[in-house]
Amino acid sequence: MIKFTINGKLVQADQGDMLLTVIRREGIDVPSQCHHQAVEPSGACRLCMVEITRQEWDGWSKFVTSCLYPVEDGLMVTTHSAKVIQLRKTIIDLYLARHPNSTEIMRLASEYGVTRTTYETVADGDDCIMCGLCTRICAHMGFSAISTVGRGHDKEIAPPLKEAPTDCTGCLSCANNCPTNFIEFTRDSNSLTIWGRTFETLACSQCGKTTITRDFAEHLSKTRDIPIAYFEVCDDCHRKETAKTMGRVVNWTREVQA
């Protein structure tokens, strides 16, 4: 058990826990844009930075990203020091200049009282804040269908060669976890299109409701040893089937007992 303080309050955590996890567990609101429990922390957005010090540092302190700083005995963490707030405001200010139309960024800005950007608005700034969640999640799912392209200010997210990605299964995990809803996809009655590639969606053999894509289902079936037939019925109809099957069994015992 590791003991340390957050904003003066003594807390406990397990070895290997990251500061952000403990901070949030304590109900303290520290913003983040690039953090997701499913994937390794990356330290890209820098919003989760906190100020840390120790008794023996004699008043010296430093700034670390709490999402990837492991807890340490005797650490003294301040989540909202003046410098930390300045830093978060500056990051939000920079975001605002780059992504002036993003509602998520506007929400964050209003939370931190940043009303307009100090900097030059970037002419063609889109909503991708380069948090890297989409690519990291995609890689973690085992697909690596998209990645970052280029570097610096022009860096962007794209499939290889910007062509329809062959490794994509259309699971939508990238789009579902994009903090600014930047990743677009469209659905049709029996298909789904993302990253310029169109996928066939499976339809429930009972009611016709569409579920996941055929590519994703086949991938799961193959790599995870799940009968493909499981994917041919939607969850509602699966429950109904279950009720019918059990109903028959119960009815049979009823009749036998009668």
Partner 1 sequence: MNFRFVVNPEVCTGCRTCELACAFAHPHDGKPGKSRIYPIDGGFKELWVPVTCLQCDDAACVKSCLVDALKRNPVTGAIELNREMCVMCMACVAACPFGCALLDPGQDAVVKCDLCGGDPVCAHFCPTKALSYVPIEKKDRIAG
Partner 2 sequence: MRIESVEQLRKLEKKYRGETESHPVRVHICYGPGCLANGAQEIGDRFRKVIKEKKLKNFKVEAIKETGCHGFCERGPLVVLEPEGTFYTKVKVKDVEAIVEKSLGKSEIIESLLYTNPADDKKIQRYKDIPFYAHQKRIALRNLGQIDQTSLHDYIAAGGYQGLAKALTAMNPNKVIKEVELSGIRGRGGGGFATGRKWATCAKIESDVRYVVCNGDEGDPGAFMDRAIMEGDPHTVLEGMIICAYAVGSTQGYVYVRDEYPLAVVHLQKAIEDAEAVGLIGENILGTGFSFHIAISRGAGAFVCGESSALMRSVAGEVGEPRAKYIRSVVKGLKDKPTVLNNVETFACIPVILSEGGKAFSKIGTPKSTGTKAFSLVGKIENTGLIEVPMGTTLREIIYNIGGGIKDGKPFKAVQTGGPSGGCLPESKLDLPVDFDTLTEAGSMMGSGGMIVMDDATCVVDVARYFLSFLVEESCGKCVPCREGLYQLHQSAVRICEGKGTDDDLEIMQHLSDMIVIGSLCGLGTSGPNPFLSTIRYFRDEYEAHIKEKKCPAGVCTALITYIITDRCTGCLACIPACATDAITGKKGQVHQLAQDKCDRCGACYAVCKYDAIEIH
**Residues that bind partner 2 in the complex, under the rule CB under 8 A:** 41-46, 49, 63-65, 68-70, 83, 86-87, 90-91, 94-95, 97-98, 118-120, 122, 129-130, 132, 147-148, 150-155
Specify whether the CB–CB gap between 133 and 39 falls below 8 A: yes
Nearest Cα neighbor of 216 from 233, 228, 206 is 228
Order of strands across the sheet that contains 210-213: 185-187, 191-194, 197-203, 210-213
- Residue 35: CB atoms within 10 A of its CB come to 26
By CB under 6 A, is residue 217 in contact with ligand SF4?
no
**Can you tell me which residue has the tokens 């499939």?**
159
Task: Give the one residue of 13, 129, 202, 233 binding ligand SF4; rule: CB under 6 A.
Answer: 129
Q: CA triplet 40, 222, 39: central angle to 5 degrees? A: 5
Nearest Cα neighbor of 127 from 181, 46, 195 is 181
**How far is Cα of residue 164 from the mean position of the Cα atoms in its chain?**
23
Nearer Cβ to ligand SF4 (9/162): 162
Q: How far apart are CA 142 and CA 90, in angstroms?
A: 35
Q: How far apart are CA 134 and CA 148, in angstroms?
A: 10
Nearer Cβ to ligand SF4 (153/244): 153
Nearer Cβ to partner 1 (91/212): 212
Nearer Cβ to ligand SF4 (79/102): 102
Which region, judged by CB under 6 A, interacts with ligand SF4, from 17-25, 55-63, 110-118, 175-183? 175-183
Task: Give the one residue of 7, 11, 28, 43 binding ligand FES; rule: CB under 6 A.
Answer: 43
Q: Which of partner 2, ligand FES, partner 1, none does 85 bind, CB closer than 5 to 8 A by kind? A: none
Write the interaction track for ligand FES spanning residues 20-39; mark x where CB under 6 A is met and - where it is not: ------------xxxx----
Interacting residues with ligand FES (CB under 6 A): 32-35, 43-48, 65, 67
